[in-house]
Amino acid sequence: MRRRDDEKAKSIKEAVIKLILQEGFHGTSISKIAKEAGVSPATVYIYFDNKEIMLQNIYHEYSEEIFDYIFNKVQCGMAGKQLIEVLVRSYYNYIQENREIFNFVEQFSSCPSLASGCSEIKGICNINNFIGELKKNNVIKDYRIENLIAIIFYPVKSIAFNDHKSEKERAELLEEMIEIIQDVLLK
């Protein structure tokens, strides 16, 4: 059996993201992925049993990466105001630094037939637990976790993808959004 090569795996993942964003899930075949990655289709099957499993594995890996990125910025002992700022700013920074990956994760998560086959994302559980702890400790108001997550994270995507604004204008919008979220959520 052939050995796995980290560089080939990385090339395959990059090809998947590029092609999915260009051609969509259904327009992307294993042979197109292999060609874009500079490997043979047989090589792709060394890493993944089939296209669906490949997409789910890549989605899972990058979804976890997003949450790891955010949680690596959070430190014990942060006050509520600082926590909100760190959550919002780190999410925004991840999107800016990894736009294609983020777009892939967003596109995948909005495709029920693919996302439903994924096991629970640990990062989502962690963020739910984290927000639950903030509620329990009276740091943030007692709204439903789903609404709290929407208030904290969804506006950030809107700012990050607002290509009609300059970087400076987006930074100003982000600053204001942080203040709004803090005012709305903190006790």
**CATH number of the domain at 1-48, please?**
1.10.10.60
Domain boundaries, the chain: 1-48, 64-185
In angstroms, rounded to a whole number, what is the distance separating the alpha carbons of residues 86 and 101?
Answer: 21
Instruction: Note the pTM of the prediction, 2 decimals.
Output: 0.88
The per-residue pLDDT string of the chain (187 residues; one tens digit each, 9 = 90 and over) reads 456 678 899 999 999 999 999 998 889 999 999 999 999 999 999 999 999 889 989 998 999 999 999 999 999 889 999 999 999 999 999 999 999 999 999 988 877 666 665 556 777 788 999 999 999 999 999 999 999 999 999 999 999 999 999 999 999 999 999 999 999 999 9
